[in-house]
Chains A and B, each alone.
Chain A
Amino acid sequence: MENVQKNIHTDEMINKIPVRLLKNKIYKGLFLLAALFTFILLVVLLARIFSQGASHLSWDFLQNFASRRPEQAGIKAAVIGTLWMMAVVVPVSLLLGVGTAVYLEEYAGKNRMTRFIQMNISNLAGVPSVVFGLLGLTLFVRVLFLGNSILAAGLTMSLLILPVIIVASQEAIRAVPKELREAAYGLGATKWQMILRVVLPSAIAGILTGSILAFSRAIGETAPLVVIGIPAFVAFLPKSVFDSFTALPMQIYNWTSRPQEEFHFLAAAGIIVLLVILILMNSVAVWIRNRYENKY
Chain B
Amino acid sequence: MKTNDGQNQVQSLLEKKYQNGFLSRGEKVIPVLLFLMAAVSVVTTIGIVLTLIVETFTFFKQISIAEFLTKKDWYPFSKTDASYGVLPLLVGTLKITLIASITAVPIGLAVAIYLSEYASERVRKLMKPILEVLAGVPTIVYGFFALTFVTPLLRAIFPSLEMFNAVSPGIVVGMMIIPMIVSLSEDALSSVPDSVRQGALALGATKWEMTWRVAFPAALSGIMASIVLAISRAIGETMIVSIAGGSTPTASLDLTTSLQTMTSYIVQVSTGDAGFGTTIYYSIYAVGFTLFLFTLAMNMLAQRISRRFREEY
**Which A residues contact B (CB, under 8 angstroms)?**
13, 17, 20-21, 23-24, 27-28, 30-35, 37-39, 41-42, 44-45, 48-49, 52, 95-96, 99-100, 102-104, 107-108, 116-117, 119-124, 126-135, 137-139, 142, 159, 162-163, 166, 180, 183-184, 187-193, 197-198, 213, 216-217, 219-223, 226-229, 249, 252-253, 256-257, 264, 267-268, 271, 274-275, 278, 282
Instruction: Kindly list chain A residues whose C-beta atoms are within 8 Å of the C-beta of B51.
Output: 134-135, 138-139
The 10 closest A-B pairs by CB, nearest first: A128-B236, A220-B138, A99-B37, A34-B110, A31-B114, A103-B34, A126-B299, A223-B238, A24-B206, A24-B208
- Which of B60-68, B128-136, B251-259 lies at the interface? B128-136
Distance in Å: Cβ of B109 to nearest Cβ of chain A:
8
- Whether B47 lies near A30 (C-beta < 8 A) is no
- Whether B143 lies near A256 (C-beta < 8 A) is yes
Given contacts A24-B209, A31-B118, A274-B141, contact A131 B288 (CB under 8 A): yes
Instruction: Kindly list chain B residues whose C-beta atoms are within 8 Å of the C-beta of A122.
Output: 299, 303
Other-chain contact of A128, B137, B148, B263 (Cβ < 8 Å): B263
Question: Which residue among A30, A121, A223 has the maximum number of chain B CB atoms within 10 Å of its CB?
Answer: A223
Instruction: Kindly list chain B residues whose C-beta atoms are within 8 Å of the C-beta of A17.
Output: 204
Binding site secondary structure of chain B: helix
- Whether B208 lies near A27 (C-beta < 8 A) is yes
- Whether A198 lies near B6 (C-beta < 8 A) is yes
- Whether A49 lies near B141 (C-beta < 8 A) is yes
Instruction: Kindly list chain A residues whose C-beta atoms are within 8 Å of the C-beta of B130.
Output: 38-39, 42
- Which of B23-31, B74-82, B154-162, B189-197 lies at the interface? B23-31
Interface check B20, CB cutoff 8 A:
no
In the assembly, what is the distance between CA of A229 and CA of B276, in Å?
11
Other-chain contact of A188, B14, B24, B44, B55 (Cβ < 8 Å): B14
Interface check B292, CB cutoff 8 A:
yes
Task: Find residues 135-192 in chain B having any chain A CB closer than 8 Å to their own CB.
Answer: 136-141, 143-145, 147-149, 175, 178-179, 182
Minimal Cβ-Cβ distance residue in B for A21: B206
Interface check B71, CB cutoff 8 A:
no
Task: Find residues 242-286 in chain B having any chain A CB closer than 8 Å to their own CB.
Answer: 242-243, 263, 266-267, 270-271, 276, 284-285
- Whether A99 lies near B38 (C-beta < 8 A) is yes
In the assembly, what is the distance between CA of A102 and CA of B119, in Å?
38
In the assembly, what is the distance between CA of A159 and CA of B131, in Å?
26
- Whether A131 lies near B236 (C-beta < 8 A) is yes
Interface check B86, CB cutoff 8 A:
no
Binding site secondary structure of chain A: helix
10 of the cross-chain contacts (CB-CB < 8 Å) are A34-B106, A38-B178, A103-B35, A117-B39, A123-B300, A127-B48, A138-B51, A142-B276, A184-B6, A282-B132
- Whether B23 lies near A190 (C-beta < 8 A) is yes
- Whether B267 lies near A227 (C-beta < 8 A) is yes
In the assembly, what is the distance between CA of A127 and CA of B233, in Å?
9
Task: Find residues 38-56 in chain B having any chain A CB closer than 8 Å to their own CB.
Answer: 38-42, 44-45, 47-48, 51-52, 55
In the assembly, what is the distance between CA of A142 and CA of B54, in Å?
14
- Whether A120 lies near B41 (C-beta < 8 A) is yes
Distance in Å: Cβ of B229 to nearest Cβ of chain A:
7
Instruction: Kindly list chain A residues whose C-beta atoms are within 8 Å of the C-beta of B243.
Output: 253, 256-257
Distance in Å: Cβ of B60 to nearest Cβ of chain A:
16
- Whether A220 lies near B141 (C-beta < 8 A) is yes
- Whether A163 lies near B35 (C-beta < 8 A) is no
Other-chain contact of B235, A13, A20, A128, A187 (Cβ < 8 Å): A128
Instruction: Kindly list chain B residues whose C-beta atoms are within 8 Å of the C-beta of A282.
Output: 132-133, 136
Distance in Å: Cβ of A159 to nearest Cβ of chain B:
5
Other-chain contact of B296, A126, A187, A223 (Cβ < 8 Å): A126
Given contacts A131-B288, A189-B10, A267-B144, contact A28 B208 (CB under 8 A): yes
- Whether B175 lies near A104 (C-beta < 8 A) is no
Instruction: Kindly list chain A residues whose C-beta atoms are within 8 Å of the C-beta of B131.
Output: 38
- Whether B145 lies near A49 (C-beta < 8 A) is yes
Interface check B291, CB cutoff 8 A:
yes
Question: Which residue among A39, A52, A132 has the maximum number of chain B CB atoms within 10 Å of its CB?
Answer: A39
- Given A35-B119, A190-B17, 18 further pairs, Cβ under 8 A: A99-B38, A100-B40, A117-B42, A121-B41, A122-B299, A123-B299, A128-B235, A128-B292, A128-B295, A129-B236, A129-B238, A183-B7, A187-B7, A220-B139, A227-B284, A271-B140, A278-B136, A282-B132
